[in-house]
Amino acid sequence: MNDNGIVFNQNARNIAFDDEHHEMMMSRYQYFVLNSENYTKYYSDLELEKQRAFNIRIKALNKLDKLLFDFDTNFTKKGGKILWANDADDARQMIYNIISQEKVKRVLKSKSSTLEEIELASYLENKKIKVVDTNIGNFICDLYKEEPYSIHSSASHKTTSQIAEIYTQKFGIKENCNAKQLTNCTRQLLKQDFYNPEAIVTGANFLISNTGTVVITENEGNILKSSTFAPIHIIVAGIDKMITSVDELSVLLPMSSIYEPNKNLSSFYTLINKAIEEGDVSQKLYLVLLNNNRTEILKKEKQKAILSCIQCGACSDVCPVFNTIGGHIYENHIPGPVGSIILPITKGMEEYSHFCSLCTSCGRCNDVCPVDIPIRDLFLENRKDLVKDDKSLIGERNFLSHLVKKMSSRKNMDKHGSGFKDIELGYFVKKKWGNKRELPKFAKESFSQYWKNINKLNQ
């Protein structure tokens, strides 16, 4: 196993047997399951709507080159400027060049998996640029110097009492504040930044090719406030965010928020057609279009479907692997099943082969995905590629080779007694099965011997 896999397994083993963490993750999972019917009750035929959403996304991926050209033309006509970034280094450098040219010293950043992907915050801070997060969950993670825990719930691994404690330490507020008080406190702390931004960097949920429109969704409204007052707005989006027309939002936007935990909290949808120009207010609008190996995924006939993901986070909520090891162990901008499919393709099977094993094939992710992506099947495709490329673990290859030889004939299967078979099984699979579980024991009598015995009795 490579070094990445060894470290990952050790970290996963440590967290998997942390009782407090396990209780927290099970609580999240049970809450999702109990409320799943409420999430989907608004659709008379949910499966049909899922298929419609999948078709929209796949159609866009199949003609992505044309849509990108159309979007570039329409976005540029309206005064926006597009920068094409081949990888994360390109994107970071482009953003820093804009910021330094404009002499910006403080940047607002929205919650965005794309910004986490390029590791923008740490890069700018190393350049002595102050970065302030507009999302409350991400703001809390920044206080702890931690990465977001999941796509939709950045600080869900922290309890209210833990957050209250660090707020007392950092900002001197009274002890034992409740969630509402902490939220109000955060808004007050960020208020000055929201209304007086030097620049803001955001992600995007969708890019509409035929109008050159950028679509941003949020729940708190902080991006809308900040981007309205910002003289410079830099948007970073993957090329996979492209869709054909605004009409498709009537399907995609409701599906992207179908698993919102509180339906009384309406999502804010911002559609940016051009930079703000009202009176004395003038805004510069930039869009960094990021590839970063997305074209490598597009080359995969089946796995390219994962780029249809609209990042609702539901697959992580029901994934037994994610709910065992949590979000930080993945060390990925998209922790959970989606990131586990993407990473081996984009970063290399040899270094990230262990991510291909992070699926029990239970199929729960397939059931809840609002875009009908066959996530379980894509894991299997990655495993097939792993074997084709001869990147599978040596131990696994040896075990399967031995197993095939053993089962090639009845004579080989019955060659030794149950005691030897128990030792043999333990030698090959004990480490994989784990020290916390007991291996099954072989029957004292093989099936063929049993069959012969009962036939003798019948005669």
- 128-150, pLDDT tens digit by residue? 999 999 999 999 999 999 999 98
Question: d(Cα 268, Cα 217) in Å, to the nearest integer?
Answer: 6
Task: Determine the 3-state secondary structure of 216 from DSSP.
Answer: strand
User: Do residues 213 and 70 touch, judged by C-beta distance below 8 A?
Assistant: no
Cα 266 to chain center, whole Å? 23
DSSP state letter for 178: -
CA distance 218 to 16: 32
CA-wise closest residue to 204 among 290, 86, 96: 290
State whether residue 207 is helix, strand or coil.
Answer: strand
3-state DSSP percent of the chain in helix, strand and coil, to 5: 55, 10, 30
Question: CA triplet 374, 376, 379: central angle to 5 degrees?
Answer: 110
Could you report the per-residue pLDDT of 78-97, keeping only the tens digit for each?
999 999 999 999 999 999 99
Q: Give the per-residue pLDDT at 263.
A: 55
Please give the Cα distance from 114 to 130 (Å, whole number).
Answer: 19
**Average of per-residue pLDDT values in the chain:** 88
Rounded to an integer, what distance in angstroms lies between the CA atom of residue 164 and that of residue 173? 8
| pLDDT one-digit tens code per residue, 371-400 | 999 999 999 999 999 888 776 666 666 667
- 8-state DSSP, 44: S
DSSP 97-147: HHHHHTT--EEEE---HHHHHTTHHHHHHHTT-EEEESSHHHHHHHHHT--
What percent of the chain has pLDDT above 90? 55
Helices (H), 289-417: 294-298, 314-318, 322-325, 337-347, 349-352, 364-368, 375-388, 394-406, 410-413
Which sequence spans correspond to the domains of the chain?
A: 3-34+323-388, 48-148+182-292, 394-458
Residue 293: left if φ>0, alpha if ψ -120 to 50, beta else—which one? left
Distance of alpha carbon 369 from alpha carbon 229, whole angstroms: 36
What pTM value is reported for the model?
0.88
Look at residue 51 and give its three-state secondary structure.
helix
Taking residue 457's Cβ as centre, other Cβ atoms within 10 Å add up to 7
Scan for tokens 């599906």, then name that residue.
255
- Residue tagged 């969630």 (tokens): 179
Q: What is the mean pLDDT of residues 314-325?
A: 94
Report how far residue 38's alpha carbon sits from residue 44's, in angstroms, rounded to the nearest whole number.
Answer: 13
**C-beta of residue 368 within 8 angstroms of C-beta of residue 312:** no
Residue 441 has pLDDT above 90, yes or no: no
- 339-363 confidence digits (pLDDT tens): 999 999 999 888 888 899 899 999 9
Say what the pLDDT of residue 169 is.
92
pLDDT tens-digit readout, 431-440: 666 666 788 8
The amino acid sitting at 11 is N
Angle between helices 179-195 and 160-171 (to 10 degrees): 50
State the pLDDT at residue 280: 66
Inform me whether the pLDDT recorded for 455 exceeds 70. Answer: yes
Cα distances (Å, whole numbers) of residue 450 to 174, 409, 411, 447, 454? 74, 17, 15, 5, 6
Local structure of residue 439 (DSSP, 8 states):
P
Q: Are 234 and 201 in contact (CB under 8 A)?
A: yes
Residue reference for tokens 């916390």: 436
Q: How far is CA 34 from CA 37, 149, 318, 341, in A?
A: 7, 22, 12, 28
Taking domain 48-148+182-292, whether its CATH number is 3.40.50.10420 is answered by yes
**Residues present in the chain in total:** 459
In whole angstroms, what is the distance from residue 155 CA to residue 167 CA? 14
